[in-house]
Amino acid sequence: MLIFSVFKTLTDHTVTVELKNDLCITGVLKSVDQYLNIRLDAIKVENAEQHPHMMAVKNCFIRGSVIRYVQLPASAMDIQLLEDATRRESGKKI
Amino acid sequence: MQVSGEIQEPFDLIRLSLSERVMVKLRGDRQLSGVLHAYDGHMNMILSDVEETVMIVDPVPEGVKPSIRVAKRQIEMLYVRGDGVILVSPPQRE
């Protein structure tokens, strides 16, 4: 639930999602759900030459389970808040 | 009963590593080193100041000794999905 809340605070920020098939998509985070499925707008494929079939796609829904990493905007995050929330959540029972 | 400080279950080791630099080994011959700021019960994590190391074995003809390349890159703030995590190693204490 913690990470879900983090993603919710990052809506309308630009993130880069790296999938398990090495596809890298940069776009504006529009929404996220409890499974950490992600909807991106105004997308751009970073390694477009390896994935030419993605050229025409402008927005997409990404299933949470195929995501490897998400590169987040560090300036939009409160690290102290993040660590306190993690301690609180791990204290009660994860 | 209390053996070493507050470590009673495996996740306690990770909780004590919050805001410290950890090494994370991932599926797909990947390894991360970064400062841990958040995690949850799936071992989804948020790390900052991350260095990713990917081991790449270049395909070589039969009989030739395979050469291993190491690709490194830096990422400022990164969400890592827990299903790719193999192990998390806390900071080395001297």
Count of Cβ atoms closer than 10 Å to residue A10 Cβ = 18
Taking only the tens place, the pLDDT of each residue in B42-86 is: 999 999 999 999 998 888 888 888 888 999 999 999 999 999 999
DSSP one-letter code for B8:
-
In the block, which residue shows the tokens 């209390």?
B2
- CB A2 to CB B77 under 8 A? no
Looking at the domain B11-85, which fold is it? SH3 type barrels. (2.30.30)
C-alpha A85 chain-centroid distance? 19
Complex ipTM, two decimals?
0.90
Taking only the tens place, the pLDDT of each residue in A1-44 is: 899 999 999 999 999 999 999 999 999 999 999 999 999 999 99
Residues of B near A (Cβ–Cβ under 8 Å) read 11, 15, 18-19, 26, 28, 37-41, 44, 46, 48, 75-81, 83-84
For B19, which of A2, A83, A90 is closest by C-beta distance? A83
A52: Cβ contacts below 8 Å, ≥ 6 apart:
none
Taking only the tens place, the pLDDT of each residue in A51-84 is: 878 778 889 999 999 999 999 999 999 999 999 9
Structure tokens at B59: 């395909």
For chain A, give the DSSP string.
-HHHHHHHHTTTSEEEEEETTS-EEEEEEEEE-TT--EEEEEEEETTGGG-GGGTT---EEE-GGGEEEEE--GGG--HHHHHHHHHHHHHH--
Is the CATH number 2.30.30.100 carried by domain A2-92?
Answer: yes
Q: What is the pLDDT of residue B35?
A: 96
Question: Is B1 a residue whose pLDDT tops 70?
Answer: no
Taking only the tens place, the pLDDT of each residue in B15-26 is: 889 999 999 999
DSSP one-letter code for B28:
T
| Cβ B92 vs Cβ B22: under 8 Å | no
Which residues from chain A sit within 8 angstroms of residue B81, using beta carbons? 36, 64-65, 67-69
- CB B40 to CB A89 under 8 A? yes
Which residues from chain B sit within 8 angstroms of residue A86, using beta carbons? 15, 18, 37-40
SS3 call for B11: helix
Q: What is the pLDDT of residue A38?
A: 96
Q: What is the pLDDT of residue A94?
A: 43
Q: pLDDT grade, residue B12 (50/70/90)?
A: confident
Q: What is the pLDDT of residue B93?
A: 61
Residues of A near B (Cβ–Cβ under 8 Å) read 1-3, 6-7, 20, 36, 64-65, 67-74, 77, 79, 82-83, 85-87, 89-90, 94
Radius of gyration of chain A (CA): 15
Q: Where are the domains of chain B?
A: 11-85
Identify any residues that bridge with B32 across adjacent strands, giving them in sequence order: B24, B52
| CA dihedral of residues B60, B61, B65, B71 (deg, nearest 10) | 0
Query: Is pTM beyond 0.95 here?
Result: no
Chain A closest-CA separation from residue B65 CA (Å) = 26
